[in-house]
Amino acid sequence: MIDGQTLLYGIIGNPVHHSLSPVMHNRAFAALDMNGVYVPMPVTDLAVAVQGLRALGFRGVSVTVPHKEAIISLLDEVDPVAQRIGAVNTLLIRERPSDGKRVIRGFNTDWLGANLALADKVRLEESRVLILGAGGAAKAIAFGLVEAGATVILSNRTVSRGMELADWLGCTFVPLTGLASVEAEVLVNTTTVGMEPHSEDIPLDPGLLHRFTTVMDIVYAPLQTRLLREAAACGCTVIDGLAMLVYQGAAQFRIWTGIRPDIQLMRRALEERLASG
């Protein structure tokens, strides 16, 4: 029941109508019998939207593409890790007791989501991880893996972009044409290759998959990407795109409420939504 006491949460981005985050967070609120609601909000004018969130009394907000970098300059405080990554995906909005001003602090939970999804299956500090891609997702994921002590090797279609990120991370860059010589146990696809409607695409030669023990894809539409299907057929342990989504969402929920939500319940909510089309 939404009433005068309902606490407001949501997601800003453009577009956001396909976002699965409302399903996951609203299920967690319901399961905990909390009077909160999480709504999708398409945003083009980011500065005005941030003022609006403050004025309307929102408590917590997710930030997605294309606003994760631009929002930083509009915040009152930024968590040091988010500052280093240069991207914020979570806002916590609190009233300052001294003057009643609503203060917005930004965090990044993407890197943690990827870490936790992988740490379920592998010991990161002993792993060599090949990351495909050099976009925003790759940056957060690779940062988290380096922090966890993994050895990261980066590859990307656009060499200059890949080399720039590899330099920033202090890791090795290998062009896509050189993947056959890479020695790594874990493969993480952060590119959009394999996403619907191009679900028969695969980001690397499937003949290389037997070299890895564990393969993670951040694409979740479809959930069983061709990469994951081929990897499973080679005997690899596979981690699908919902794992990172759920763990990063659970970390957001905890930042907002102080409560660790039920990860399995959030995942089931997402699976049901995907299954219902």
Q: Where on the chain is the footprint of ligand ATR (CB under 6 A)? A: 133-138, 156-158, 161, 190-193
234 with 257: CB under 8 angstroms?
A: no
**Residue of minimal CB distance from ligand ATR?**
135
68 as an active site residue: the answer is: yes
Catalytic residue among 68, 101, 121, 139: 68
Considering the complex, state which of residue 78 and residue 137 has its C-beta at the smaller distance from ligand ATR: 137
135 with 86: CB under 8 angstroms?
A: no
Dihedral-angle region of residue 36 (phi above 0 means left; psi in -120 to 50 means alpha; beta otherwise): beta
Q: Closest distance between ligand ATR and the C-beta of residue 71, in Å?
A: 14
Distance CA 100, CA 61 (A): 19
Considering the complex, state which of residue 64 and residue 252 has its C-beta at the smaller distance from ligand ATR: 64
Q: Closest distance between ligand ATR and the C-beta of residue 18, in Å?
A: 14
Considering the complex, state which of residue 102 and residue 161 has its C-beta at the smaller distance from ligand ATR: 161
Q: Closest distance between ligand ATR and the C-beta of residue 171, in Å?
A: 15
Q: Closest distance between ligand ATR and the C-beta of residue 65, in Å?
A: 6
Give how far Cα 95 sits from Cα of 55, 73, 99, 250, Å.
11, 20, 8, 23
Distance CA 190, CA 139 (A): 9
Q: Is 7 exposed, middle or buried (0-12, 13-18, 19+ CB in 10 A)?
A: middle
Considering the complex, state which of residue 113 and residue 261 has its C-beta at the smaller distance from ligand ATR: 113
The residues annotated as belonging to the active site are 68
